Amino acid sequence: MSKLPTLSQRHIDPRNYPPGVAYMDGQYLPMQEAKLSVLDYGFLHSDATYDVVHVWKGAFFRLDDHMNRFFRGIEELNMSIPYDQAQVVEILHNCVALSELQNAYVEFICTRGTSPTFSRDPRDAENRFIAFAIPFGSVANKEQMEHGLHLAVTDVLRIPPSSVDPTIKNYHWLDMVKGLYAAYDQGADTAVLVDGKGNVSEGPGFNVFAIRDGVVSTPDTSVLLGITRQTIFDICVRLGIQCRTKDVSVTDLKTADEVFVTSTAGGVMPVTKIDGQPVGSGVLGALSDTILAKYWEMHDDDTLRDVVLYPEAVE
Ligand code: PLP
């Protein structure tokens, strides 16, 4: 028998990671040092919940809402973490402050974790909390923001709510990834999935909105209750725009005057083409434009902001 190989120290190439700071297992770490056991059920079974909040111009936007959604998910999935909401808030602030990022994408995760016996019983696992702050990212790039996204309405079914509750933010994304490849095959930028009853649901990382005759509509079931989605509802109230949650059929979407998608990763993102055909007149819609401008204006609202204390302010 040949000699046993020696155990190696793993070399991490920092070029494979965006800059940023993570918190895991009680420590703040440079992004490339934040490593997870391959035995974590978050990785092996996608058994995890998470949330993403953004920091814009040095302040978190709607952090309380993200916190509430995250802690509800933890409870619904029978998980627990050794931190209360105030402590998680402090950890997120520290990740952003240490990263010194003024505009950041901040993700916080609870995985089922690991069990010393590799038990199949999820109750035996010790749940793990992880958080990280990296540079702000968007579903739509600069060019797509300027000209609008090309969306493909795929025939891929979003995993049904009776299987996985979409209101608990989750990593069941193989349907989304399948949708993305279907979209790329037809030259589109991204995909929207369907609910199997003739309606659209949501896409990889975003909710979908259709506007017809000045009325804004978005699906009410089979979707994550996005915090950006909630911000659109608030904007519509403030601007006196009629907005409703209802089934949005594939036909409703394709024949809408304007379409946009929403995400913490990018905000309000216009869609100007669906399945190769122009939406309305094929250019950025006026009402979508107004809503988009109001969305970023709301980032100056002190009631929705949590200012980050960066190192120079702390000293
Ligand atoms: N739907 C899905 C599946 C998502 O993953 C996301 C965000 O990542 C959204 C919708 C939009 O939610 P939010 O506005 O809270 O970012």
Residue having the nearest C-alpha atom to atom 12 of ligand 1: 226
As a whole number of angstroms, the distance between CA 147 and CA 288 comes to 13
**How far, in Å, is the centroid of ligand 1 from the Cα of 50?**
11
What are the structure tokens assigned to 253, written together?
């979407």
User: Does pLDDT of 313 surpass 70?
Assistant: no
As a whole number of angstroms, the distance between CA 163 and CA 220 comes to 17
- Residue of 72, 195, 207 with the most ligand 1 atoms within 8 Å of its CB, for mutation: 207
Do residues 280 and 260 make contact, with C-beta atoms less than 8 angstroms apart? Answer: no
pLDDT in tens, 69-115: 999 999 999 999 999 999 999 999 999 999 999 999 999 999 999 99
Question: What is the number of the ligand 1 atom nearest to the C-alpha of 227?
Answer: 15
Q: Is the CB of 175 under 6 A from ligand 1?
A: no
Do residues 103 and 67 make contact, with C-beta atoms less than 8 angstroms apart? Answer: no
CA distances from 118 to 2, 80, 114 (A): 30, 19, 7
The reply to whether the predicted model has a pTM over 0.90 is yes
> DSSP letters of 213-236?
TTEEEE--SSS---HHHHHHHHHH
At residue 314 the predicted structure's pLDDT band, cuts being 50, 70 and 90, is: low
User: Does pLDDT of 141 surpass 60?
Assistant: yes
Look at residues 178, 11, 34 and name the one whose alpha carbon lies nearest to residue 95: 34
pLDDT in tens, 12-36: 777 788 999 999 999 999 999 999 9
As a whole number of angstroms, the distance between CA 202 and CA 204 comes to 7
Mean pLDDT of 193-208: 98
Three-class SS state of 243:
strand
> DSSP letters of 166-228?
TTS-----HHHHHHHHHHHHTT-SEEEEE-SSSBB--BTTBEEEEEETTEEEE--SSS---HH
Sign of the Cα pseudo-torsion (60, 225, 275, 291, in order) = negative
Mean pLDDT of 184-190: 98
CA distances from 252 to 90, 149, 151 (A): 43, 18, 14
Look at residues 238, 234, 240, 233 and name the one whose alpha carbon lies nearest to residue 214: 240
Query: Helix, strand, coil shares of the chain as percentages rounded to 5?
Result: 30, 30, 40
Residue having the nearest C-alpha atom to atom 5 of ligand 1: 205
